[in-house]
Amino acid sequence: MKLAQIALTLNGEPTDVAFAPYKTLLEVLREDLGLCGTKHGCELGECGACAVLLDDQPVLSCLVLGVDCDGRNVTTIEGLAQDGRLHPLQDAFADLGAAQCGYCTPGFLMTAKALLDEHPRPTREQIKEALSGNLCRCTGYQQIFEAVEQAVSACSMPAGASAKREAPATASASGGGAPRESEK
């Protein structure tokens, strides 16, 4: 089988990748590029665990063919932290316990980032609507909504006013299920 070859911008970096042409973006990210922060969930586009940003819009990577990403900009959970600092959404998810087992967290974070990029001060209803395609079996959603609201406040603070955490040395920075030092 002839491999597909594409060039894209992945988490801000020019990237070339070759893969079987039938692969979804999810499979290309995980299997060919080694970025495992984006999760396999239902593979039917119903759970939101595989959400990434494609040209700054949230998409379900299990429904997008990798070949359709040639020349496009893809942002995954691994690209959310900037300059070694967690994004305010990641901080808020960790602070408020919005990341229980952590499996759905990358999808929620990427979808919430797209929301905040488009609507910097969303209402609770806008948050609920934006995240309605993401499923979580652990939190009951209250902490997730509150975390997005807390991130809104953090994003609107003057530069230098908040003490942002350093991103962990691990690749995912997804906020996983590990307890913070203050929770032990």
Q: What residue ranges define each of the domains in the chain, with the CATH number in brackets?
A: 4-79 (3.10.20.30), 88-173 (1.10.150.120)
Confidence of residue 162 (pLDDT cuts 50, 70, 90): very low
Q: What is the pLDDT of residue 178?
A: 37
3-class DSSP state of 73: strand
What confidence tens digit (pLDDT) does each residue in 121-158 have?
999 999 999 999 999 988 789 999 999 999 998 887 65
| Per-residue confidence (pLDDT) for residue 128, from 0 to 100 | 97
List pLDDT tens digits, range 95-129: 999 998 999 999 999 999 999 999 999 999 999 99
Is the pLDDT reported for residue 22 higher than 80? yes
Are 151 and 121 in contact by the 8 Å Cβ rule? The answer is no
Strand order in the sheet with 73-75: 13-19, 4-10, 73-75, 51-54, 57-60
Task: Indicate the residue type of 73.
Answer: N
**pTM score, whole prediction:** 0.86
pLDDT of 172 higher than 90: no
Q: What percent of the chain has pLDDT over 70?
A: 85
Contact 8, 71 (CB under 8 A): yes
Distance between CA atoms of 48 and 52, rounded to whole angstroms?
9
Beta-carbon neighbour count of residue 118 at 10 Å? 13
Task: Supply the mean pLDDT for the chain.
Answer: 89
Q: What's the whole-number mean pLDDT along residues 71-94?
A: 96
**Other CB atoms closer than 10 Å to residue 15's CB: what's the count?**
14
